[in-house]
Amino acid sequence: MARVFISYNSQDRPFILKIAAQLQAAEHDVWLDVWRISGRVPYWEEIKAGIEQCTHFVFAISPQAIESESGSRIELDHAAGLPSEKRPIIVPLLVRKTPLEALPITISAGRLHIHDFVNKPFEAMLSNVLHAVASSKTESASKLSTSVFTSQRAQKLRYTEAIALVQAGAYEQAIASLEELAAQGYRPTMMPLERVLNHARQRMMESKRRAEAEDAYEEIAALEGLSRDLAREAWAQFRHDYPEFTDDPLNLAARLSRRNGQTTVRHNVADLLPDFEWRSIPQGVALLEDATNLRKYNPQGSRGGWYDVPAFKIAKTPITNLQYQYFLDAPDGYRDMRWWSYSLHASAWRRKRPQAKLTAVLGDRLPRTRISWFDAIAFCLWLSHRSGQHITLPTEVQWQRAAQGDDGRRYPYGNTFDETRCNVRESGHGAPTPVDAYPKGVSPYGVLDMQGNVWEWCLTEWQTDSAHVEGGNARALRGGAWSSVGAMVNCFYRYQNIPSVELDSIGFRPVLLDD
């Protein structure tokens, strides 16, 4: 019996459920997220454990699944990156028409056999998959050692893969392969291996210098918010130190020379978005839970502690499909790249997303889901521009104060969990509900949906507790979702994910700060 992990895009779930049922009927132990995610530990930790314990990793190929920031692609990269003794056998299935030249090298047609369910009969392909899963890892490794690494043809294939890795920017992995081939005495037909190695090393050095320049560039962008004079000084030094770095995606040269003496015109957000309402949160304190216990938090977070929280306002509900649609439809909204110019990570991510991802469940009063942290920040910047006010995501302590109030309660509505006051797993919906569906779950300050329905992005960077918009490190999430175990996702519970993730269970709500 094999232990099979199935990685797929949510659009392919009906098809994958059929495959999973057939694997189970063949008496294999199948790990499928909708069957196995318990919600008792962080989502990614359950996924990683499933991958690391499997003998076979079935990957459903589709255009969305192979996107570099998709959940399934992250799962594939994790499986392929495990040490050889722990690495599962990868079994790729073509489930929707996908350009084969776009496949990651780990499942490329020249490297692995792809089971084509698009162009070939289902029963024939299913039989092949069952046979592939029935094969043992020992057999696979034996075949690999006898037919790949000992043959000239295999060395040539590995050389070609190393060249592809250089082209993909995976320089360290490429150089390691080329050095091993050199040690084996491999000689390419057209170009001495040493010259290719030197070229790869040079490319790696150039890549590292560019990464240093991009880090410095982001620091200057952040410095602008503190002091334009300091930012101008740093910009001059940057131009001196990195003359070859001619890109200026955030238009810093123009921004640091611009003088803005215009008077800001303010507008109420309720006049810009339908059914929108702020709730005022008075000054107070919040106790952030210690997230360094690996049994509960993995990866670890900060130690937490008591925080003073100045007064602010927070949206009464998460942003709805209808409200977010205004951002998508506005001429100066989603299509305007300037709202992603706050960091190089955000602008690079946005260039890969010419169109926003569709929400999980339609309905004007349903929370907008499949929202990345980058998207949420962009929406807040757009709304700040439209309203003339300072609107952003809440920090963890702001979110917790809005949910909890002054008495340290465990849940927004009291100290005893009640599945009738929130949309969590125990409530039985299995999907998001309207943001005003649980009026009895209101927090002390009149804020709705602070437990369940959708996880909510926070501004706070995981582990450092810093509140900034630069970089691509994990960000805090709060509140739990429709799929969460309700008793666990209380006002204290902290969670996180990478800023590019877009899940059916994640949304956001903004806060309004005093200037």
Encode pLDDT of 413-426 as tens digits.
999 999 999 999 99
Give yes or no: residues 230 and 305 share one domain.
no
Please report whether residue 186 resides in a domain: no
How high is the pLDDT of residue 245? 81
How high is the pLDDT of residue 164? 78
Predicted confidence (pLDDT) at residue 398 exceeds the cutoff of 90: yes
Give yes or no: residues 245 and 279 share one domain.
no
How high is the pLDDT of residue 226? 66
Mean pLDDT for the stretch of residues 302-311: 93
Q: Tell me 56's DSSP state.
A: E
| Cα dihedral 245→249→252→257 (10° resolution) | 110
Beta bridge partners of 90: 57
Give yes or no: residues 24 and 115 share one domain.
yes
Mean pLDDT for the stretch of residues 41-56: 88
Q: Which of 368, 389, 374 lies closest to 339 in space, CA to CA?
A: 374
Predicted confidence (pLDDT) at residue 350 exceeds the cutoff of 70: yes
Mean pLDDT for the stretch of residues 393-411: 96
Give yes or no: residues 242 and 284 share one domain.
no
Mean pLDDT for the stretch of residues 433-438: 96
Mean pLDDT for the stretch of residues 108-133: 82
Higher pLDDT, 341 or 161: 341
Q: How confident is the model at residue 40 (pLDDT cuts 50, 70, 90)?
A: confident
Q: Which of 122, 147, 172 is the last residue of a domain?
A: 147
Please report whether residue 204 resides in a domain: no
How high is the pLDDT of residue 168? 73
User: Which domain CATH number covers 45?
Assistant: 3.40.50.10140
Mean pLDDT for the stretch of residues 480-502: 93
Q: Tell me 423's DSSP state.
A: B
Give residue-wise pLDDT tens across range 239-273: 889 888 877 766 677 767 754 444 446 788 999 99
| Distance separating alpha carbons of residues 509 and 458, to the nearest angstrom | 9
Q: Looking up tokens 């982001």, which residue turns up?
A: 218
| Distance separating alpha carbons of residues 234 and 248, to the nearest angstrom | 14
Mean pLDDT for the stretch of residues 17-41: 86
Rounded to the nearest 5°, which phi and psi values hold at 438? -125, 70
pTM for the predicted model, two decimal places: 0.56
Predicted confidence (pLDDT) at residue 148 exceeds the cutoff of 90: no
How high is the pLDDT of residue 139? 46
Q: How confident is the model at residue 3 (pLDDT cuts 50, 70, 90)?
A: very high
How high is the pLDDT of residue 183? 85
Give yes or no: residues 138 and 32 share one domain.
yes
Predicted confidence (pLDDT) at residue 433 exceeds the cutoff of 90: yes
How much of the chain exceeds pLDDT 70, in percent?
93
Mean pLDDT for the stretch of residues 190-194: 87
| Distance separating alpha carbons of residues 446 and 315, to the nearest angstrom | 10
The per-residue pLDDT of the chain, averaged, comes to 87
How high is the pLDDT of residue 253? 79
Please report whether residue 377 resides in a domain: yes
Mean pLDDT for the stretch of residues 473-479: 94
Please report whether residue 23 resides in a domain: yes
Give yes or no: residues 87 and 224 share one domain.
no
Q: How confident is the model at residue 35 (pLDDT cuts 50, 70, 90)?
A: confident
Please report whether residue 197 resides in a domain: no
Mean pLDDT for the stretch of residues 420-438: 95
Q: Which of 101, 214, 216, 220 lies closest to 164 in space, CA to CA?
A: 101
How many domains does the structure of the chain reveal? 3
Q: How confident is the model at residue 147 (pLDDT cuts 50, 70, 90)?
A: very low
Q: Of 68-82, 167-181, 251-265, 271-285, which gets the smallest average pLDDT?
A: 251-265
How high is the pLDDT of residue 110? 64
Q: Of 57-71, 212-226, 316-330, 479-493, which gets the smallest average pLDDT?
A: 212-226
Q: Which of 231, 255, 279 is the last residue of a domain?
A: 255
Mean pLDDT for the stretch of residues 8-23: 90
Q: Which of 120, 147, 174 is the last residue of a domain?
A: 147
Q: Of 137-141, 214-218, 227-231, 362-366, which gets the smallest average pLDDT?
A: 137-141
Q: Of 19-23, 212-216, 428-432, 454-458, which gets the smallest average pLDDT?
A: 212-216
Give yes or no: residues 243 and 282 share one domain.
no
Q: How confident is the model at residue 80 (pLDDT cuts 50, 70, 90)?
A: confident
Give yes or no: residues 219 and 84 share one domain.
no
Predicted confidence (pLDDT) at residue 144 exceeds the cutoff of 80: no
Give yes or no: residues 278 and 377 share one domain.
yes
Give residue-wise pLDDT tens across range 310-347: 999 999 999 999 999 999 998 889 988 889 888 888 98
Range of the domain at 219: 212-255
Predicted confidence (pLDDT) at residue 461 exceeds the cutoff of 70: yes
| Distance separating alpha carbons of residues 275 and 96, to the nearest angstrom | 39
Please report whether residue 133 resides in a domain: yes
b/e 251-287 (16+ beta carbons within 10 angstroms → b):
ebeebbeeeeeeeeeeeebeebbeebebbebeeeebb
Give yes or no: residues 283 and 346 share one domain.
yes
Please report whether residue 130 resides in a domain: yes
Q: How confident is the model at residue 151 (pLDDT cuts 50, 70, 90)?
A: low
Predicted confidence (pLDDT) at residue 307 exceeds the cutoff of 90: yes
Higher pLDDT, 28 or 128: 28
| Preceding peptide of 299 cis, ω within 30° | yes
Give yes or no: residues 135 and 222 share one domain.
no
Give yes or no: residues 244 and 303 share one domain.
no
Please report whether residue 331 resides in a domain: yes
Q: Looking up tokens 């299509």, which residue turns up?
A: 335
Mean pLDDT for the stretch of residues 272-289: 95
Q: Looking up tokens 């008496």, which residue turns up?
A: 27
